[in-house]
Amino acid sequence: MSLTPTRSRRVRPLALFAPALALAAALFGAPAAGGGSAAAADGSAAVSGTAAAGSLPCDLYAAGGTPCVAAHSTTRALYSAYNGPLYQVKRASDGATRDIGVLSTGGYADAAAQDAFCARTSCLITVIYDQSGRGNHLTQAPPGGFNGPAAGGYDNLAEASAAPVTVGGHKAYGVFIAPGTGYRNNNTHGIATGDQPEGMYAVLDGSHYNGGCCFDYGNAETSGLDTGNGHMEAIYFGNIKVWGYGTGNGPWVMADLENGLFSGVNAGYNANDPSVSHRFLTAVVKGGPNQWAIRAGNAQSGGLSTYYSGPRPNVSGYNPMKKEGAIILGIGGDNSNGSAGTFYEGVMTSGYPSDATENAVQANIDAAGYTAPAPAGGLTVGSKVSLRATTSCCTNDFLRHNSADSNAVIAPVTSSSPAADKAAATWTVRAGLGDASCVSFESADRPGQYLRHYDYRLRVDSNDGSALFRQDATFCPQAGHNGQGVSLRSANYPSDFVRHFDYNAYIAGDGGSHDWDSATAWADDTSWAVASPWA
């Protein structure tokens, strides 16, 4: 579970979250919002609003005798009686935080509240609240066997608007995990330990994955260290083949049991675990004494398929299991944080759920109506574009590279400009080199050279094939911060966006230690109109 070392850079204060509010919430449970009461762990509280009583995932698990002991979602309530906060965001411009709740009891996320709070700046997701009432909230993952890129070796936090989605006809946001991003709770209540039985599911973006270790959701070590075989039980999704794999080229749903990603009873290859290609994916792992299973299905329609159900792996150390009861999201048990993925909702249960219970949960997920939004800004892979500044000073200026030193700048380009200037301001949109759900920009006049950041300055460089280059050259488009065009988030620095400052180009946060992080005109400077290519 090794990671590629990364270049040392300054850390943004926004990336590290440790206020007393979050700590108190993590210990004592989230308060209910809007005067409603949070659901009991058995899902039995009285209901009003969107969801019918007993109809949501944790209601169904409780009815099956395997109640949720952790329930996380940034898109909707998972109990029909839940009326508390789903997650918390922190604003870059002033460090203020806000809980984002549901539109109604048992309903969908109030994305409009996030949009209003984060308007003209950026936000990070600082807490993902546990709806079970047990206080098993997820916060910024601390260092473990591997350090993260944020201050003190913590992992990054997810940019709050990076994974827009529509659920039940309502706008919502998922948790976009870029490499280096992760959440954890090492001090949980009610999560299975030792060989105790448990179940878990997660709804994920089936098109967002990589071969890094390890995009997990589930049970992990409380120390953040690899403490041996059988000390984890978590859902894994991705296409790494180092420890285990199934048919095809992936991605696969597997179980991370520590020192092994298992696709079946054998270490390595198991033929019954297929590659999956659903845009929205339901992934299920459950385990008990010498019994475990992998199930998965399309989160938009249809049922669950069982890819494996049988005894524990035929490798020493996994029977009996030695689960420790921490909860992780987006990382491995030892804080391996090279993975990518998007999480929408998931739960962990007490007890080994029946297939019938999971099938009922899957039917509810299908009915929730997950759909993908239109891509931001019309950046179509394979097309050529030019990127025009939208700040009032510079609406005739385009992002281009210099001819002499390869640095990126903004400069005027018109129909009468020399052909070389037009070509320097034209980019070919490629699938993101470090994350295929994002984009990279290949220079139109320097094939093989890509726009990338290096010590925060943007420039064009030849692709050296390294993991660092691929991440530095990947940008994730979202709606423009000033309401125009697109804003382009750095794939590996989630609070930094492509910005022009004093006619040079950087990745920049909204406030920080460098001049180019200035809050003045930040929303305008980070918004780009996607224009027809000059060349």
- Average confidence (pLDDT) per 10 residues, the chain, 535 residues: 37 40 37 35 37 90 98 98 98 97 98 97 98 98 97 97 96 96 98 98 97 98 98 98 97 98 98 97 98 98 98 98 98 97 98 98 98 85 97 97 94 96 97 92 96 97 94 95 95 94 97 93 97 96
The DSSP-derived string for 255-317 is EE-SS-EESSSSSEE-TT------SEEEEEEEEETTEEEEEEEETTSS-PEEEEEESPPSSTT
Amino acid, res. 369: G
Q: Do residues 406 and 519 both lie within one domain?
A: yes
* Residue 147 domain-assigned (yes or no): yes
Strand partners, 238: 252
The yes-or-no answer on residue 205 being catalytic is no
Q: Do residues 454 and 357 both lie within one domain?
A: no
Closest CA to 251 of 210, 298, 305, 301: 210
Q: What is the CATH number of the domain that holds 234?
A: 2.60.120.200
Instruction: Give CA–CA dist 140/138, Å, rounded.
Output: 7
Q: Do residues 143 and 280 both lie within one domain?
A: yes
Identify the pLDDT of residue 35. Answer: 32
The yes-or-no answer on residue 198 being catalytic is no
Identify the pLDDT of residue 269. Answer: 98
74-104 b/e (C-beta count within 10 Å ≥ 16 → b)? bbbbbbbbbbbbbbbbbbbbeeebbbbbbbb
Q: Do residues 346 and 399 both lie within one domain?
A: no
Select from 324, 346, 371 the last residue of a domain: 371
Amino acid, res. 425: A
Per DSSP bridges, beta strands 397-401 and 341-349 are unpaired
Q: Do residues 392 and 527 both lie within one domain?
A: yes
Identify the pLDDT of residue 50. Answer: 60
Closest CA to 390 of 527, 223, 207, 255: 527
Cα Rg, the chain, nearest whole Å: 23
Identify the pLDDT of residue 38. Answer: 35
Q: Do residues 129 and 160 both lie within one domain?
A: yes
User: For the chain, how many structural domains are there in total?
Assistant: 2
**Which two tokens mark 280?**
């929205």
Q: Do residues 205 and 172 both lie within one domain?
A: yes
Identify the pLDDT of residue 32. Answer: 37
Q: Do residues 403 and 254 both lie within one domain?
A: no
Q: Do residues 341 and 405 both lie within one domain?
A: no
Choice among 99, 258, 358, 510 that is catalytic: 258
Give burial (CB, 10 Å; 0-12/13-18/19+) of 528: buried
Instruction: Give CA–CA dist 42/430, Å, rounded.
Output: 48
Yes or no: say if 310 and 374 are a contact pair by the CB < 8 Å rule. no
Q: What is the DSSP letter of 76?
A: B
Identify the pLDDT of residue 14. Answer: 39
**What domain range includes position 91?**
57-371
Closest CA to 494 of 97, 152, 124: 124
Yes or no: say if 408 and 400 are a contact pair by the CB < 8 Å rule. yes
Q: Do residues 151 and 285 both lie within one domain?
A: yes
Q: Do residues 342 and 491 both lie within one domain?
A: no
What SS3 state is found at 364?
helix
Choice among 99, 110, 205, 334 that is catalytic: 334
